[in-house]
Structure 1
Amino acid sequence: MAPRKSSDPAAYVALALRLALGGYFAWSGYQKIFIAGLDNFTRAVGNYKMVQAPWDAMLAYTIPWMEIVCGVLLVIGLWKRGALWGLAGLVGVFAFGVGQAWARNLNIDCGCDGNPDGSPMNYSLKFLEFGLYWLAIFFIWFLGRKGSSHVFGGTRLKLPG
């Protein structure tokens, strides 16, 4: 059976957003673990002064793996809604952390992309970035609800009754 061709432009927009957002988060988590190193990211998490050791290390060792898993799942289209919920939760936690750092006038490097260069973050631009993540998540969620196709072609399973 040949896969269905979709002429709906919303499906292409959702696919492009899904690949871009998932790829970005997977790459960001990869950078934190394998390029910058988890020790640097642990210091970046500690800079927020939200949790004490060893909880900062626990967060620093968990968050990048969550980014990678959610990003890869979103890119391959498997468990898209779960991946979107995971990314929404991560963005919410990031926004809360950055917001409390801004409210406490902490002049920190966020460690967001895994490349702590020591330069302080621009809080206004960071919240604009978070808004764009939320907008992309919203569009992927609602544009993806329109289609009934499965990641590997075919249709969703319909239970009898």
Structure 2
Amino acid sequence: MRAGRRAALLMWLPVLGALASCGIPTTGVVEAGGPASGAVPTLRVYFADGGALRGVDRRVAGPVDPESAVQVLLRGPTRAEQAEGLYTLLPPVPSLMSQVKVASRDGRVTIRLSAVPGDSGDLAAAQLICTSVAAQRVIAPRADPLPVTVTGPGLSLRGTGTQCPR
């Protein structure tokens, strides 16, 4: 009797295999862009909100460092963020890109402005300091951020991020 069951099972295996394939053809290797590279980093940039700073998260596709973070900041708030009352004290990207120089060396970050935005220079500098410190926290989350100095005509402010809202 056991031999009969075994023979019946063996007879049904090809039928079950045919049913399992459901007529779906094999595709082989499908080219669909580059290899997976992990999570896209999130960077916090700081905009003004009623005379104070408020951080917003931005997803960045490229490497994160203080210079790239400042470039993200200079693009300004999105329309949705503007609708929430956020604004920047820094001029828009085309007019400011050549006016801002960011350097990370000798254990500090220096941001040099060739022009300072009016009466709001301190808050504008705080936008730059906090955004730069946030970039450093993405790079090395457990390390203390390097001090950031923002200089320009009549302006010299230094910060380490302790005054930045989270």
TM-score category of the 2 structures, normalised to the smaller one: under 0.3
Structure that is richer in helix per residue: 1
| TM-score computed with the length of structure 2 as normaliser | 0.26
Structure that is richer in strand per residue: 2
Which of the pair has more CA radius of gyration?
2
RCO higher in structure (CA 8 A, sep ≥6): 1
